[in-house]
Amino acid sequence: MRRLTVCAGAAIIGFGILAGCNGEVGGLDDSGGSRAAGSSSGTGGVTGSTGAGTGTGPGSGGAGAGGSGGGLATEFNIDGNPKYYRVIKITNAQWANAVQQVLNLPSPTGLEQGFSTPATTQGTFSNNELGLSLDGRNWDDFRTSASTIAAQVTATDAALAKVYTGTDPAGLITTLGRRIYRRPLTTAEQTTYMTLYSSGSTLTGSRSTFAKGASLVIRAMLQSPYFLFRLELAPKGTPLNAYEMAAKISLALRNAPPDDATLDAAAGTGKFDTADGAGALAMKMLSDPAATTVMRQFHGEWLGFSDFGALTRGVASYTPALNPEFAESSYRFFDNIFSQGLGVKDIFLSSTAFYGPAMAKLYTGVKAPAAGAYAQTDLGATRPGWFTQVPFLALNGLDDHNEPASILRGVPLNLNVVCSKLGPPAAVIPPLPPLQPGETNRQNVDKLTGTCGMSCHNDMINPLGFAFERFDSMGQPRDTDNGLPADASGSYTFADGTIKTWKDAAGLMQVLAAAPQVHTCYAKKLASYGLQRDMVASDMPMLQSLSSASVGQGGSVKQLIVNLVKSDAFRTHGGPQ
């Protein structure tokens, strides 16, 4: 049932249960029943950009038995808790980009900077369905912003002409309605907006009749659930129609709604509502600079680049000026992986590195760029991949002395690169004791962890962390450890029981680049971000299909995204099949 609700002069055209005055927007859950948008709950067990989850979803997949001498096999962490919501609020960034695009504004309004941010659960991405509910604060943000923007773009006829070049209300409603709703308006919706326009056109004030009517229409459209939410309302398992696919792909890859040309194309039969059509649209959008920005956010959340802002180190080679350079150089590394058509393996094998003027002293033989600039260099065969570069190693170093933080380096690799399921940490974690004469850092860590969390540390965390023993806390190379040779060798048993060994960090990068579990882990992270939900055991066939194309010398990250868009999980209405 559709109805018009007017609150304090603002008209909102909605669907189902809509009480705009108190900020509650009703949606549909995966069973087709109604739910309040602010009532989503639950915490996911998927490990995302930071931390480990503790979900209660379906059982995990991929557990294997360890081989002889290889330690305990890892267990792939796939215990998410998705709700499969089909009414998902757009993010603040998507709102900002959408407002700018649909109203032809020359620049973002900046109003979204004052919006409340999603309350993400540990281990999920910021666009996860579980954190995108609508509460009273959100509603006030959207309502007041809609009023402000509508007043600005209709302040004069000249301003309104930049939004819509005509002067006919029907054309305004049809054109803006399609952009804002991301589909053509129904006849009933057009009629309702025309009634609203007529009411607005009679308001007092010095503006023209057209501007006054348009102001109320724009104000209402920007508060519509069809704008504030991405909807998948057909029965579960039904393929999304062309307009739904265009909106889903564009919001996922550009953080913006489909443009006029894409909406025109969606009107053609079979354009985007087939796997090939959806894949072709995705590939086209991946060349848009906005896609690089989206992937920048994904990689930053996956590996926790925001943590660089709080980095402190009590060693001589550290200065606070390094923090923003660590973050930006990391973003640029992954921008390069994406924009150059490289694949998951190149995250571990590419020797390309970026650095700012403060970072130059941390890499041997490089020239410092000008203030505020960044340079690119090749670190050679001994430092392949982002995880052997200074930012990762310094972020996961010790605060007060220059020894490697082996545990801090091993944990994120297990959680975010291998997707291993780690047990909960001890309630009280003792500090690493001081090194004794004739004792290496590796021996010291083994001594600390030998009596607690033995399998978790000895078979999973410590081996991966020890691979970086030839780098100090600031990522500087070292050959000796407390006067003894630094030992970076190790072995790891993957979920399928495969045992891999290495002699140093470069060898570990070779192992990770070729490991199917690593490619599946990346696919899991990417799918969670793209589908805006946690992953569960029933997703494993899809994840393994995605990862199989990227193992070894296989496909690029871009092709992995296209394959995700072509999958049934992306192209059908949500819910376990």
Question: Per residue in 114-157, pLDDT tens?
Answer: 998 877 666 789 999 999 988 888 899 999 999 999 999 999 99
pLDDT at 70 over 80: no
Rounded to whole angstroms, how far apart are CA atoms 399 and 312? 7
Rounded to whole angstroms, how far apart are CA atoms 452 and 575? 40
Asked if residue 105 belongs to a domain, the reply is yes
Rounded to whole angstroms, how far apart are CA atoms 197 and 192? 9
The CA dihedral of 345, 351, 357, 363, to the nearest 10 degrees, is 130
User: What is the pLDDT at residue 36?
Assistant: 31
Pinpoint the alpha helices (H) of 364-493: 390-395, 406-412, 441-449, 454-456, 462-466
Average pLDDT, the chain: 85
Angle, in degrees to the nearest 10, between helices 275-285 and 242-254: 30
Asked if residue 112 belongs to a domain, the reply is yes
For residues 253 and 561, the answer to whether their CB atoms sit within 8 Å is yes
Per-residue pLDDT tens digits for 536-577: 999 999 999 999 887 755 689 999 999 999 999 999 987 754
Rounded to whole angstroms, how far apart are CA atoms 137 and 147? 16
User: What is the pLDDT at residue 30?
Assistant: 29
Q: By 3-state DSSP, what share of the chain in percent is helix, strand and coil, each rounded to 5?
A: 45, 10, 45
User: What is the pLDDT at residue 60?
Assistant: 33
Using DSSP bridges, classify how beta strands 2-7 and 10-15 pair: parallel, antiparallel or unpaired: antiparallel
Rounded to whole angstroms, how far apart are CA atoms 204 and 224? 25
Q: Which two tokens stand for residue 457?
A: 């540390």
User: What is the pLDDT at residue 335?
Assistant: 98
Q: Which two tokens stand for residue 269?
A: 């039969």
pLDDT at 49 over 70: no
DSSP one-letter code for 310: G
Distance of CA 233 to the CA centre of its chain: 24
Count the Cβ atoms, other than its own, within 10 Å of residue 497: 14
Asked if residue 209 belongs to a domain, the reply is yes
User: What is the pLDDT at residue 540?
Assistant: 95
- Domain tally, the chain: 1
Residue in the structure block whose two tokens are 């590996």: 303
For residues 370 and 318, the answer to whether their CB atoms sit within 8 Å is no
Classify residue 213 by burial, with Cβ atoms within 10 Å: 0-12, 13-18, 19+. buried
Helix (H) or strand (E) holding 132: none
**Averaged pLDDT, 286-298:** 97
Rounded to whole angstroms, how far apart are CA atoms 96 and 108? 6
Residue type, 418: V
Pinpoint the alpha helices (H) of 154-274: 157-163, 169-181, 187-201, 209-221, 225-228, 242-254, 260-266
**Averaged pLDDT, 499-521:** 97
Asked if residue 172 belongs to a domain, the reply is yes
Per-residue pLDDT tens digits for 296-355: 999 999 999 999 999 998 888 999 999 999 999 999 999 999 999 999 999 999 999 999
Asked if residue 67 belongs to a domain, the reply is no
- List beta partners, residue 76: 420
pLDDT at 192 over 60: yes
Owning domain of residue 2: 1-39+87-231
**Averaged pLDDT, 239-256:** 96
Per-residue pLDDT tens digits for 200-236: 999 889 999 999 999 999 999 999 999 999 999 888 8
Non-local CB neighbours of 365 within 8 Å, separated by 6+ positions: none
Range among 13-22, 37-46, 323-332 rated most confident: 323-332
Residue type, 332: R
User: What is the pLDDT at residue 122?
Assistant: 64
pLDDT at 170 over 60: yes
pLDDT at 7 over 70: no
pLDDT at 422 over 50: yes
The CA dihedral of 527, 530, 533, 537, to the nearest 10 degrees, is -20
User: What is the pLDDT at residue 432?
Assistant: 81
Asked if residue 107 belongs to a domain, the reply is yes
User: What is the pLDDT at residue 117?
Assistant: 85
**Residue 45 pLDDT level (bands cut at 50, 70, 90):** very low
Length of the chain: 577
Asked if residue 46 belongs to a domain, the reply is no
Asked if residue 306 belongs to a domain, the reply is no
User: What is the pLDDT at residue 281?
Assistant: 96
User: What is the pLDDT at residue 403?
Assistant: 82
For residues 374 and 432, the answer to whether their CB atoms sit within 8 Å is no
Task: Using a pLDDT cut of 90, give the percent of the chain over it.
Answer: 70
pLDDT at 487 over 90: yes
**Averaged pLDDT, 478-496:** 94
